[in-house]
Amino acid sequence: MINLTINGKAIQAPEGATILEAARANGIDIPTLCYDKAVEIYGACGLCVVEAEGIPKLLRSCSAKCTEGMVINTESDRVVQSRKIAMELLMSAHDGDCVAPCQLNCPARTDCQGYVGLIANGEYDSAIKLIKNKIPLPASIGRVCPHPCEKACRRKNVEEPINIAQLKAFAADIDLNKDSYLPDVMVRTGKTIAIVGGGPAGLTAAYYLNIMGHSVTVYDMMEKMGGMLRYGIPQYRLPKEVLDKEIAIIEKSGVKLINNVKLGKDFTIESLKAENDAVIVAVGAWQSSSMRTPGEDLEGVYGGIDFLRAVIKGNPPEIGQRVAICGGGNTAMDACRTAVRLGAKEVYVIYRRTRAEMPADALEIDEAEEEGVIYKFLTNPISFNGENGKLKSVTLQIMELGEPDASGRRRPVPIEGKTEEIPLDSVILAIGQKLVQGDVSELQLNDRGNIEADPDFFTTNMDGVFAIGDATNRGASIAIEAIGEADRCAKAVDAYLNGQKPDTRVPYISKRDEATIDYSDREKAPRLNPKVLAPEVRNKNFDEVSLGFTEEEAKEEASRCLECGCREYYKPEPLPRRNAAGVYAR
């Protein structure tokens, strides 16, 4: 027998064995196509290269023999780069998608193609199980997500994208209206985790860590869990009864939920860490951003999320008859449509670019206009004017579009000397939100005033403390982004508790050349949208606007999918498993 070391592990191999054979015999994986049972013998694929100490060139492990005292590294940067080049050469003549564009564009990497196909076949139970591999709040997210998946959907090259988000909500609603799906929970590990913040990020991390066998407690400062899903999104878009049902499922699965407790007042991150094996900070961004416009301190000027939260909690402010909302995102749409429902007669949206540049969902923009909202495009407030400390009007600078800025959108520039004044009773500033920094004084912040968290492992400057969601790095984003982060963070925390690091390597994905795809043989079938309440009905109440898909509509819409991704590629991502003794294994 020959003694050698592979990836720091001392092993033995029979004389004459190749490095590949020795590695496999000891549970060390080296990728290769030459000896893969799933494919025909290819030849010199170049994927099985490894690095050996004292040998300048990389060795092909399928042919290089083991020698006494050899020290091998199968995963060095040089090896990985060589394999990447080899794979690109092997795939250079291949025109196919490993994974559908919709899934690649989803921040949570939800298998959109998979569950859409299951819905088309009437397999709703399987669809919800697949969705819940990545999203534990699918009925809520299906209603509010700005669906980046649909922006990548190739069906748009035929006519319109698949209505992926509403199909998710359809499958989730079926699940909520019966004995809802509950995942199997693994053998309890004895490890405890505290999560600060019960929004989409915190609840998602709790859900998956609980499944992995850890004991999880979520602490939240508000009366109920849900974070911005509850306190930032109006009832007409997301009925709180739906959110309550989904949170109840998470609680039923074994997660402990504690409300009305605040970080910095009732506990600290340090105190939680002293009592738990790990802490996740997911406090969100609860402070409305300022426009730094003169007059913002006048009575009648409100922050967007402050306004929405007050309405949802049943304490709407007196906004009067003439209201303006500053901003062009979905929070601005929520604010203007809420103002209409509160009885305002004139509701304006002030946006410094044009309709085409608005980041809000197109459907939201259209439905707001149907409800009576007036858009003031290419305008920007230069002062909020008051009398006796109360808002009376806004002076708007008239703009025009100049050259594109860093975002790729044409930059709005003032037209010198052109202004407009609009009399108002109130203004709602819906231009963004940020972290309340005092809540997280124990953690290191970046130059943007957000928690500094490692982008791969979500670690902070405190050992055993992780951070995710709107409070970190780049700041506030969409809920599905926070959910995707929380899923990955759960794996990182689980690995940390087992003295490991999660695998952050990005797999090689083959993608089709978009320019070569011919859609001429595809029969046109226009997108189906669920029926909605009539504008003159819905603008007078907070009833849910969308009536949802019928089963027939859902199956018809799902059947439009072009099935871009490769069926042979997809394998469900395995959750970490433990045996009866609680030993970690994949």
Q: What is the CA radius of gyration of the chain?
A: 27
pLDDT recorded at residue 573: 52
pLDDT recorded at residue 579: 43
CATH 3.50.50.60 fits 288-433, yes or no: yes
**CATH topology identical between 192-286+434-497 and 288-433:** yes
pLDDT recorded at residue 569: 78
pLDDT recorded at residue 410: 85
Distance, CA of 102 to CA of 114 (rounded, Å): 11
pLDDT recorded at residue 575: 45
pLDDT recorded at residue 584: 38
Beta-sheet strands, E only, within 247-331: 256-258, 278-281, 287-288, 301-303, 322-326
The overall pTM is greater than 0.85? yes
Determine the Cα angle at 183 with ends 181 and 184, to 5°.
140
- Phi and psi (nearest 5°) for 410? -65, 135
| Sequence spans of domains, the chain | 2-90, 192-286+434-497, 288-433
pLDDT recorded at residue 576: 46
Distance, CA of 47 to CA of 187 (rounded, Å): 37
Burial class for 76, CB neighbours closer than 10 Å (0-12, 13-18, 19+): middle
Q: What are the counts of helices (DSSP H) followed by strands (DSSP E) for the chain?
A: 18, 22
What pairs with residue 10 in β-bridges?
Answer: 5
- Tell me how far CA of residue 528 lies from CA of 237, 333, 521, in angstroms: 18, 23, 21
Distance, CA of 173 to CA of 575 (rounded, Å): 25
Closest CA to 166 of 520, 555, 495, 447: 555
Q: How far is CA 266 from the centre of its chain?
A: 30
Packing angle, helices 164-176 and 551-558, rounded to 10: 140
Burial class for 462, CB neighbours closer than 10 Å (0-12, 13-18, 19+): middle
Instruction: List helix spans (H) across 212-291.
Output: 228-231, 240-252, 269-275
Distance, CA of 341 to CA of 541 (rounded, Å): 6
Task: Give average pLDDT by consecutive 10-residue segment, the chain, 586 residues.
Answer: 94 94 92 69 76 94 93 94 87 85 96 96 96 97 96 96 98 95 92 98 98 97 98 98 98 97 96 98 96 96 97 96 97 98 98 94 96 97 97 97 85 95 98 92 95 96 97 95 97 95 81 91 94 97 97 98 86 47 38
DSSP state of 516: G
Query: 2-90, what's its fold?
Result: Ubiquitin-like (UB roll) (3.10.20)
Distance, CA of 221 to CA of 204 (rounded, Å): 17
pLDDT recorded at residue 93: 75
Question: Which CATH homologous superfamily contains domain 192-286+434-497?
Answer: FAD/NAD(P)-binding domain (3.50.50.60)
